[in-house]
Structure 1
Amino acid sequence: MSELLLLNGPNLGILGRREPEIYGTATLADIEKSVAAEVAPRNWRVVPVQRESEGELIHAIQDHHDSVGAIVNPGALMIAGWSLRDALAAYPRPWMEVHLSNVWAREAFRHESVLAPLAAGVIVGLGALGYVLAARALLEVVPD
């Protein structure tokens, strides 16, 4: 069975109770289940990883170099996660960057991602649905 890496950065482990007016009420477990259901027909297994530190996220990318692709919500690491960027630059498969909120409708410091230029696509502002859409996109771009 092929693996799809679902990588979530700092503060995303508390989804559902973290500022629900911005991030919604879906928990990370809810999101993981939704993504797993989306990719199940392709026999992909979701490997969920959520860490608070950039170094641990980098290890996860390196440990899953042979996965079919990845969905990455770097959280605030999108702003200055340069070593995470380097790890994703070396990742040989397509990956999608996802953000629950519309980062361009928020504070100016959130308006640029150092990761986005490397991503196969970027989905913002659609809440938990963004993860499912990212999975759907990967199903289209990853060859059988």
Structure 2
Amino acid sequence: MRADLDVPYIVDLIAGVTADQAASPPADQHLQTQPPNAHCSRSDDVPYEPSAEIKKAMLAAAYAEQMIERLAALQNEEVIRYTGISRAELGLRVWNAPLGEVAGRLGLKKHVLARICRLYEVPTPPKGYFRISFAHRPVRWTRIVGGA
């Protein structure tokens, strides 16, 4: 897939850098005679709207945020369908008790609950997490991003 090749182009596009500018830096960059904030002396120079590139980037970011929220909502619906509790609640239970105990309380088998957690991106503690005392545990529960 070409996605990894398009990332620098997209970053340059958002920053407003053309292909020629990206290839070679300006030769007289170190010879600037004006101070960096000299062009901001008048309030008339300030535009009333962001540039087209900024608007495009803002729309793309908003669309990506909507897609992430939709994904989290769909995952939450599926977790509720199979376990009867939300993703966030399942995450809390999995990090507070061993997977076997949580599965027993939910009326599932351990491997089925592990598969649900893996499929719907519910973080689970590493192997041996509950054999270590609480004070010495290297990893602790972090909240699930998006869709409670």
For the aligned pair, the TM-score class normalised by the smaller chain equals under 0.3
TM norm structure 2: 0.23
TM norm structure 1: 0.24
Q: Which structure has the highest helix share of the two?
A: 2
Q: Which structure has the highest strand share of the two?
A: 1
* Greater relative CO (CA pairs within 8 A, separation 6+): 1
* Larger Rg, first or second structure (1 or 2): 2
